[in-house]
Amino acid sequence: GKGCGTLPRMSRRGGRNSGSGLWERHLPPFSPPPPQGRHEDRVQHSRDLQLIEAYRERIKAESITSMLCQAITTHHVIYATLGTAEFFEFALKNPYGVQHTVTIRVDNPELSVILDVREWRHFKELTQTVTPLEEDMFHLHNGLTPQVYLRPKETVYIPFKYQTFSMEQAAMMQVGKSSPLVSFTVGNGKPLAILSVSVETQPHTVDQTFRFYHPELTFLKKSIRLPPWHTLPGAPVGVPGGEPEVFVRCSDPNVICETKKMGPGEPQDIFLKVAAGSSPQIQRFFVLIYMDPWLAAPTQTWQFYLHCLQWVEATCVLGQLTRLSLVLRGTHATRQVRAFTSRPQEMKLEPDGVFVLPANGVQDLHLGLRPQSAGSRFISLNLVDVELHQLVSTWLVSVSCRQPVISKAFEIALPSGGGKGLNKKITYTNSYPSPRAYFLHTNHPDLLRFKEDSFQVGGGETYTIGLRFAPSQNAGEEEILIYINDAEGKNEETFCVKVAYQ
């Protein structure tokens, strides 16, 4: 009776919930999928299984091969420096009961098999390696690939040498972009052993550094004389036959570097020929000097910097101001720049401070040359971005300065050893019919001063120039030149005063 009474109450409660709409929103009625949908799911699932099975079958051979290669792979680490040969031997064993001819392939030109028994013996003695040495062990297949014959169960030692002369190759090894791999295969191409070599690049020493400043897009040709070989650090002692032969290598394959065998007692020179790039490029390379024919380790390592500069020629007269203009071309962005010269006392710049070089614009840089001595010299001129500290442009100014024509000469005597100086007067006549302004300069401002650095004189008139000669501590003679220039800096006349300090 109670059971029968409960059902109607549940039915009534369910009716109220249905009427409120809660059941319809949260628990929608379940409807089984149609037979066609179940069939499509089964077909798609079957296709996925077939694809997975095909992928497994495809990579099975690769996975097995990879696992087998790992089992026969030996890892070796060497610590290499630029130009130094790293020698090691690899124990190669024939695990089979039959003989095999093993082909050795190396995928990196910096790593090689030592084929010359004399070189092998040299490195074994150098590294004190006591393993057996066998002559005529290798045969070159097609003249290139080394092969070695192995008897059943035989073990031989394969000599290797790693050596790099390239800075780019050393940098690649340092960042781990490549690692030499050696494969040992038998006649049917089946791998017998694999050698994986990891190269850890170490810094190298620099014995000397050279800097050359040279015109862009031309060849630099230099001959550098070596000091006596026995004075070089690391030079061999007790060389049979006298002096050792010198060998050189360069880190840049585009640089021609060579040395010639000289006679006993004759100096040894190293010849360089370098193609300079465009300004303001700076080329860097190393020259390695060896004193053994197998190039085991360099005796000297020289570092070279070649600054490629734009070439400017200037012909000057001593004491006269020579003006030049250089065209500055802007880059893709506006820059705050300033020009610097290696001889600020002889070259004045305008503008001489920081100025704006507009983007893709053109601007002139004015130079004022006043050499302090006759002869030829080079003056470097650099344009620098003062915000980014970058070199924008660079020039090499070749200055050829000749002596002026001496129109008058004087001789005076002064006491040496200090004391008072001497005042003198000389006259100058303006040969022009109109008034002119003149400016005075001298090649010895430490010994001569003018009462007035400039003066003005009427046409055809004469002016008296006051001179003050400073005393000298040492006895001897000095030629002091007095330059009389016009308002534009051109030399009108030059007087020579020969001073004898007694």
Measured distance CA(190)–CA(96) in Å, rounded? 13
Q: Count CB-CB contacts under 10 A for residue 416.
A: 14
Task: For residue 215, give the nearest of 255, 274, 256 by alpha carbon.
Answer: 274
pLDDT number for residue 223: 93
End-to-end CA separation in angstroms for the chain: 153
CB burial string 306-327: b at 16+ within 10 A, e below:
bbbbbebebebbbbbbbeeebe
pLDDT number for residue 401: 93
Residue 374 · residue 349 · CB < 8 Å: no
Q: What are phi and psi of 58, to 5 degrees?
A: -70, -40
Q: Which domains does the chain have, with CATH numbers?
A: 71-202 (2.60.40.10), 208-228+244-308 (2.60.40.10), 318-402 (2.60.40.10), 408-501 (2.60.40.10)
Checking DSSP bridges between strand 300-317 and strand 256-259, what pairing results, if any?
unpaired
Element (H, E) at 171: helix 167-174
Task: For residue 395, give the nearest of 359, 367, 419, 434 by alpha carbon.
Answer: 367
Cis peptide before 280 (omega within 30 of 0): yes
Q: Which two tokens stand for residue 212?
A: 């050359």
pTM score: 0.68
What string of pLDDT tens digits covers the 502 residues of the chain? 333 343 333 333 344 444 434 344 444 555 555 666 677 888 888 888 888 888 877 777 677 666 767 777 999 999 999 999 999 999 999 998 999 999 999 999 999 999 999 999 999 999 999 999 999 899 988 878 999 999 999 999 999 999 999 877 555 555 545 689 999 999 888 889 999 999 998 999 999 999 999 999 999 999 998 888 777 776 666 555 567 888 999 999 999 999 987 777 788 899 999 999 998 899 999 999 998 899 999 999 999 999 999 999 999 998 888 999 999 988 899 999 999 999 999 999 999 999 999 999 899 999 999 988 889 999 999 999 999 999 999 999 999 999 899 999 989 888 877 667 788 899 999 999 999 999 999 988 888 999 999 999 999 999 999 999 888 778 888 889 999 999 888 889 999 999 888 8
